[in-house]
């Protein structure tokens, strides 16, 4: 078995793992990144594309935002459509913050290029990853690289391999507490070669269910429909998709939705998930390995970057001074913001989606809440601060569980 050494072994080459590797190199800390999927697969995975202003600022500070600044679409508001009317939410006017629309796969491409140009040890197609000795001072990662068995001795392991990855599953039963919620509906997501019908996002509340009009570029639209939990893509031919999108999104006086070839479509279950703590021994979990939020408020990628910001600073402190305090405080620093994002994502999901039951009563409550958000300055400001990430940034860290 080939034996290698590194300071931090990073499992997962999504945005979190790649960003952590980049930040560690900036402070002189060696890492190895292992990804079980191919590079082509990782670069094509379509995920949420809304980046909060704080996320964009951090990527700029890290020297990773050149293409994002050239090609990202800057938004200063979005539109609610309900009751056959359109209501604009001017979140930049309310908070001073913008958001960028920039596909997660595009950020991943930027990160992979930066890591490759820096000569980083970034390995794809790595199956059979096994974590060992997490509760000792000498953890190790065993895997297969180019058909050859490899053992990587390291100081720490960063689990950035998502909800279904090996990292969290390597923790002994009972060492972590998990909190979960499954929502009674799902999203049918569509990527279409069609120009967006509007320059800003449209959140549409309709009697047939929620719909979202988003975009990836001036020529490519990203569209979502609320569907039943467990719904199959096979039940949604393109003609049915466009018909339902028109029904839920079109209102009198608004630009009509443009149709085009459907490039991709998939059904995504909505769920909330948090693990506490976000570490065990020498293992630190980040991003979807530690928490999942429903996509309604587009917090997933932003939460992953927030985790990595804290984790990278803690590693830097440890290697510069030997102080493990920030690493030991990693969960306490991250979890309040995670739960704040969970709360807002849950609230926004209930605000926008048609319920599975109790429909009439819920519709009246939903309408009252929407009217408050668009007509009350205090409610609008509170909503905007949550939407752009300001509320989460102001959430203080805590020492211990509630």
> pTM score > 0.75 for this model?
yes
Which listed residue (75, 100, 291, 353) is catalytic? Answer: 75
Which listed residue (15, 139, 196, 295) is catalytic? Answer: 295
In a domain, 251, yes or no: no
In a domain, 255, yes or no: no
Say how many domains are in the chain.
Answer: 1
Amino acid 398: pLDDT: 61
CATH code where residue 350 lies: 3.50.50.60
Amino acid 321: pLDDT: 97
Active site residue 299: yes
Which listed residue (22, 100, 280, 299) is catalytic? Answer: 299
Which listed residue (102, 203, 224, 330) is catalytic? Answer: 203
**Dihedral-angle region of residue 12 (phi above 0 means left; psi in -120 to 50 means alpha; beta otherwise):** left
Active site residue 375: no
In a domain, 326, yes or no: yes
CA dihedral 274, 280, 283, 285 (to 10 degrees): 10
Amino acid 84: pLDDT: 86
Active site residue 309: no
In a domain, 196, yes or no: no
In a domain, 42, yes or no: yes
Amino acid 359: pLDDT: 77
Give the chain's residues under pLDDT 50.
399-402
In a domain, 378, yes or no: no
Amino acid 255: pLDDT: 79
Whether residue 75 contacts residue 100, with contact meaning beta carbons closer than 8 Å, is answered with yes
In a domain, 296, yes or no: yes
In a domain, 380, yes or no: no
CA separation for the pair 56, 156 (Å, rounded): 28
Amino acid 355: pLDDT: 84
* Cβ density class 249-270: b for 16+ within 10 Å, e for less: beeeeeeebebeebeebebeeb
Active site residue 224: no
pLDDT tens digits for range 86-139: 999 999 999 999 999 998 999 999 999 999 999 999 999 998 999 999 999 999
**Domain limits for position 285:** 2-75+99-180+271-354
Active site residue 203: yes
């Amino acid at each position: 078995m080939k034996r290698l050494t590194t300071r931090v072994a990073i499992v997962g080459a999504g945005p979190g793992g790649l960003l952590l590797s980049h930040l560690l190199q900036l402070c002189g800390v060696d890492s190895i990144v292992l990804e079980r999927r191919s590079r082509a697969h990782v670069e094509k995975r379509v995920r949420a594309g809304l980046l909060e202003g704080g996320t964009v600022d951090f990527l700029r500070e890290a020297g990773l935002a050149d293409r994002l600044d050239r090609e990202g679409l800057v938004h200063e508001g979005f539109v609610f459509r309900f009751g056959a009317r359109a209501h604009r939410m001017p979140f930049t006017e309310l908070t001073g913050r913008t958001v960028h629309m920039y596909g997660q796969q595009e950020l991943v491409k930027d990160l992979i290029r930066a890591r490759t140009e820096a000569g980083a040890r970034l390995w794809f197609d790595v199956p059979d990853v096994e974590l060992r000795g997490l509760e000792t001072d000498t953890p190790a990662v065993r895997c297969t690289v180019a058909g050859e068995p490899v053992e990587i001795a390291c100081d720490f392991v960063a689990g950035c391999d998502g909800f279904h990855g090996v990292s969290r599953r390597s923790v002994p039963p009972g060492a972590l507490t998990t909190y979960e919620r499954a929502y009674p509906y799902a999203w049918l997501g569509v990527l279409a070669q069609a120009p967006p019908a509007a320059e800003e996002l449209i959140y549409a509340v309709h009697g047939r269910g929620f719909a979202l009009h988003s975009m990836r570029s001036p020529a490519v639209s990203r569209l979502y429909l609320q569907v039943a939990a467990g719904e199959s893509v096979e039940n949604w031919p393109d003609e049915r998709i466009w018909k339902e999108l028109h029904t839920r999104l079109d209102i009198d006086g608004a630009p009509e939705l443009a149709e085009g070839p459907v490039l991709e479509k998939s059904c995504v279950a909505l769920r909330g998930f948090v693990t506490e703590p976000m570490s065990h021994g020498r293992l630190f979990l980040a991003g979807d390995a530690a928490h999942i939020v429903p996509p309604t408020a587009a917090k997933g990628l932003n939460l992953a970057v927030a985790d990595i910001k804290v984790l990278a600073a803690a590693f830097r402190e440890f290697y510069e001074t030997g102080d493990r305090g920030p690493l030991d405080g990693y969960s306490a620093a991250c979890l309040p913001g995670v739960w704040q994002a969970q709360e807002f994502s849950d609230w926004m999901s209930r605000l926008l989606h048609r319920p599975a039951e109790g429909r009439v009563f819920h519709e009246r409550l939903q309408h009252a809440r929407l009217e408050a958000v668009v007509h009350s300055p205090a409610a609008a400001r509170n909503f905007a601060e949550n939407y752009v990430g300001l509320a989460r940034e102001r959430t203080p860290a805590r020492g211990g569980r509630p």
